[in-house]
Structure 1
Amino acid sequence: MIEIKNLKKRFGDEEILKGIDFVFETGKTNLVIGQSGSGKSVLLKCMLGLFTPEEGTIEYDGNSYSDFTDEEKRALRQEIGMLFQGGALFDSMTVEENVMFPLRMFTKKRKKDLHERVNEVLKRVNLEDSAKKFPSEISGGMQKRVAIARAIVNKPKYLFCDEPNSGLDPHTATIIDNLIHDITVEYDITTVIITHDMNSLLEIGENIAFLKDGVLAWKGDKTQIFKTDDKTVTDFVYTSDLFKKVREAQNQGL
């Protein structure tokens, strides 16, 4: 579990985060949604320790990050998996080498153990037959699955996903959504997903934080978001044709 309390962050005179309180639950897909400039990326970077908030706390399983020693911060980083927006794979490395990279960086496992763990996670994302290929030789969806394998290879307690469906077609995006959700439940991870993809919200939105102008404007799940009359929320989510169709079907009792 990750809990943020009264989190505030400013740059110069501009306040980006204006006192946010939210609990990211373990074993659930926690989504942070909102328009560009709402504070999503700044919130993510605060949670990763890349930005230091002026006020408030970020607690990892009850322990405040601001109280951590440098050694404890390093230990926490080893418990975090990161799925970047563009995948961020190394073009000069094979799939196997890309997934192995965090293991080489953070562990002292024997070569045999490294290969066993890499094979295990590649099998989990259905890519065991692509281990020797380079990123340029596989599809965009497969590249995202490689990135997921790399993010979980160190058995993280916390998984951060920054726009995981960026650049993917709707069908492939749904596959990635469901894979992230299944891995979250299977390994009991606290997963935080920054997204503007309304299909993701509809598919795996178990715990949602909606930010607007640096404020937590609404929170709930994918079922509750259809029932809210909060105009701030409805003006945002119902720009999606998919959401309009679902809402219409609900109103017609379908």
Structure 2
Amino acid sequence: MIKVENIHKSFDGEEILHGIDATFETGKTNLIIGTSGSGKTVFLKCLLGLFRPEQGSIHYDGDRYMDMSEEQQRELRKSMGMVFQGSALFDSMTVAENVMFPLKMFTKQKITEMNHRVKEVLDRVNLDGADDKYPSEISGGMQKRVAIARAIVNRPKYLFCDEPNSGLDPRTAIVIDNLIQEITREYDITTVINTHDMNSVLEIGESIIFLQFGDLKWTGTKDEIFKTDNKTVTDFVYSSNLFKKVRKAQLKGL
């Protein structure tokens, strides 16, 4: 579990995050949603330890980040997996080499052990047989699955995903959403997903926080988001054509 208390973050005198409180539960898909400029990316980078807040604290399974030594902070980062918006695969490396990269960086495993683990995670994301292909030889959806395999190869306690469905068609996006949710539950990971994709909210939004201009405006689940009377939230979610259709169907059923 990750618990955030009263986080403030500024750049060049301009405050971007205004005292955010949030809890991200283990074994659940925790979503951060909001429009562009809402502070989602800054908040995610604070959770990753890339940005240091001026105020507030972040606790990882009860341990306060600011109280950790540099060595403890390094160890914490090793327990984090990251799925980047554009997959961020190395073009000159094969699929297997991309997935093995964190093992070479952060472990002292033998090559046979690394090969076994790479095969294990590639099988888990349904990419058996793609080991020797290069990123340019596989589809965007397959590239995302490689990115997920790489993110979990070191058995992380925390998984962070930045717009994991960016550039994917709706059907492939649902496949990726479901895969992330399955892995979260199977491995009991604390997963935090930064997204503006309303399909993801509807599909896997077990715990959601909504940010606007650096303020926390709402927290809830994918079911509760339809029932809220918070106008800021409803204006945002019903700007999506998908949610308009869902809302229309709900009203017809009343």
Match status 1:48 vs 2:48: yes
Aligned letter for 1:229? D
Counterpart residue type for residue 26 of structure 1: T
Q: Secondary structure at the match of 1:130?
A: coil
CA distance in 2, matches of 1:61, 1:11: 28
SS of 1:252's equivalent in the other structure is helix
The residue number in structure 2 matching 1:115 is 115
Structure 1 position 11, deviation (Å): 1.2
How far apart, CA to CA, are the structure 2 residues paired with 1:119 and 1:195? 29
In structure 2, stretches of 5+ residues that fail to align are none
Indicate the residue corresponding to 1:75 in structure 2.
75
Alignment of 1:1-254 (within 5 A): 1-253=1-253
Deviation digits for residues 175-213 of structure 1 (CA, Å, limit 9, x no counterpart): 000000000000000000000000000000000000011
Residue identity opposite 2:90 in structure 1: F
The alignment partner of 1:87 has SS state of: coil
Amino acid at match of 2:85: Q
CA distance, structure 2, for counterparts of residue 5 and residue 23 of structure 1: 9
Between the aligned partners of 2:182 and 2:32, the Cα distance in structure 1 is 19
Aligned length: 254
Deviations 1:95-137 (A, max 9, x none): 0000000001000111110000000000000101100111111
* Runs of 4+ off more than 4 Å: none
Query: C-alpha distance in 2, partners of 1:170/1:31?
Result: 18
CA distance, structure 2, for counterparts of residue 33 and residue 13 of structure 1: 25
Q: What percentage of residue pairs aligned between the two structures are identical?
A: 70
Give the aligned CA root-mean-square deviation in angstroms: 0.7
Q: Map Cα deviations across residues 146-196 of structure 1 (whole Å, 9 max, x no partner).
A: 000000000000000000000000000000000000000000000000000
Deviation at 1:229, TM superposition (A): 1.3
Q: Distance in 2 between matches of 1:14 and 1:106?
A: 36
TM-score, normalization by structure 2: 0.99
Q: Secondary structure at the match of 2:201?
A: helix
Separation in 2 of the partners of 1:41 and 1:54?
17
Deviations, residues 27-63 of structure 1 (Å, cap 9, x unaligned): 0000000011111011011111111101000000011
TM-score under structure 1 normalisation?
0.99
